Amino acid sequence: MLAKLLITVGIAFYALAVPIFEINASHVFNPQWTPHARLHEVWQLVTNCALGAFSLWLVWFRNEIRLSSLLTLFVTGGFLFAYALRGQYDGSMVLSDGSEKMIFGINLGLFAYSLAIALAAIAVLIERQKES
């Protein structure tokens, strides 16, 4: 049960929290973004929500901790990859109003998605230990 709860927290980060933070004037309805960029943002949100729903189904109805954890790694790892390369394409986590969401002095996305990967890894280790 603990493994399921840990992976669920990580899924909630990308499938629930991110849309809450991004369906507003800072992202989806940001007039400074080109319509093409906004389309990609909505596409990413819908895709991540669908993957999150599928991952929850895998965890709670199929007991597929490993596969769900892998999907969490893909989604959150994709963000971490983009974050690491942001200097190469002039990307930033600073919002158009000049603010940046931080927690404990760390960018919120970097913190939450690193935590999601750690929780997924712990969930897989718990499941492995149960199998031994």
Q: What is the pTM of this model?
A: 0.91
Cα 95 from chain centroid (whole Å)? 18
Give the pair of three-digit tokens for residue 68.
């769900």
Per the structure, the count of domains in the chain is 1
pLDDT in tens, 8-63: 999 999 999 999 999 999 999 999 999 999 999 999 999 999 999 999 999 999 99
Tell me how far apart the alpha carbons of residues 69 and 76 are, in angstroms, rounded to a whole number. 10
User: Which residue segment(s) compose the domain that 45 sits in?
Assistant: 2-131
Tell me how far apart the alpha carbons of residues 58 and 68 are, in angstroms, rounded to a whole number. 6
Q: Band of the pLDDT at 96, cuts 50, 70, 90?
A: confident
Name the burial class of residue 3, with classes exposed (0-12), middle (13-18) and buried (19+) by CB atoms within 10 angstroms of its CB. buried
Give the pair of three-digit tokens for residue 113.
């998605």
Tell me how far apart the alpha carbons of residues 123 and 7 are, in angstroms, rounded to a whole number. 6
Please state the rounded mean pLDDT for residues 87-111: 94
Q: What is the CA radius of gyration of the chain?
A: 16
